[in-house]
Amino acid sequence: MKDVILDIKQWGNNLGVRLPAAIVREAHVHVDQRVKLTASNGQIIITPVRDEPLT
């Protein structure tokens, strides 16, 4: 697991962080992929929503 310290930035009326390339590779995520955000016990958890395989 990789740990990175990032700054939260404002984009319009929203707040966000940019994901560094090393984190993107480690998590196997891609542009336009859906993620689930969970706020729990003072933490923000980002979980990739995996594409369902076509049958």
Number of domains in the chain: 1
Q: What is the pLDDT of residues 1-44, one digit of tens each?
A: 678 999 999 999 999 999 999 999 999 999 999 999 999 999 99
Structure tokens at 19: 């994901």
Which pTM was predicted? 0.73
Whether 18 is covered by a domain: the verdict is yes
**The pLDDT of residue 33:** 93
Phi/psi at 2 (5° precision): -105, 140
**The pLDDT of residue 51:** 72
CATH number, domain containing residue 21: 2.10.260.10
Whether 55 is covered by a domain: the verdict is no
Whether 3 is covered by a domain: the verdict is no
Angle in degrees, CA 5, 8, 35, rounded to 5: 85
The distance in angstroms from the start CA to the end CA of the chain is 32
